[in-house]
Amino acid sequence: MPPQNPTDAPDVHATIPAEERGTRSLDNPDDSARWLALADAALRRGASDEDVTETEALARKEQGAIKRRIRRTAEKVKRQSKSKQ
């Protein structure tokens, strides 16, 4: 039977501080606001040129945020890969 670790014991192999663990899947209010704005624009009836322009701008803004997250993650992986070589 493996020994039990108390929850407040430091984890020497942890890469994420204890207070930040498990928070990655939580909704970010900024993300929610962007998605709701995009949904509101998409659900308007009788899409005019202005609505299409607004929807396109919101979608591009969201794509930019996603690309920034992917780039940050890729850079972290690249640095970790180099440090292990």
pTM metric for this prediction? 0.45
d(CA 85, CA 83): 6
For residue 6, what is the DSSP state? P
Residue 38, domain member (yes or no): yes
Residue 21, domain member (yes or no): no
Residue 47, domain member (yes or no): yes
Cβ–Cβ < 8 Å for 34, 62: yes
Alpha helices in 1-85 (DSSP H): 29-43, 49-84
Residue 6, domain member (yes or no): no
What pLDDT sits at residue 15?
A: 63
What confidence category does residue 43 fall into, taking pLDDT thresholds of 50, 70 and 90?
confident
Residue 24, domain member (yes or no): no
Structure token pair of residue 41: 């624009």
Residue 18 has pLDDT above 70, yes or no: no
Domains in the chain, number: 1
CA R_g for the chain: 21
Residue 7, domain member (yes or no): no
Residue 4, domain member (yes or no): no
Counting every residue, how long is the chain? 85
Structure token pair of residue 80: 């970790």
Residue 70 has pLDDT above 90, yes or no: yes
The winner for highest mean pLDDT among 34-43, 48-57, 63-72 is: 63-72
Residue 50, domain member (yes or no): yes
Domain with 52, as residue range(s), is 29-84
d(CA 44, CA 53): 13
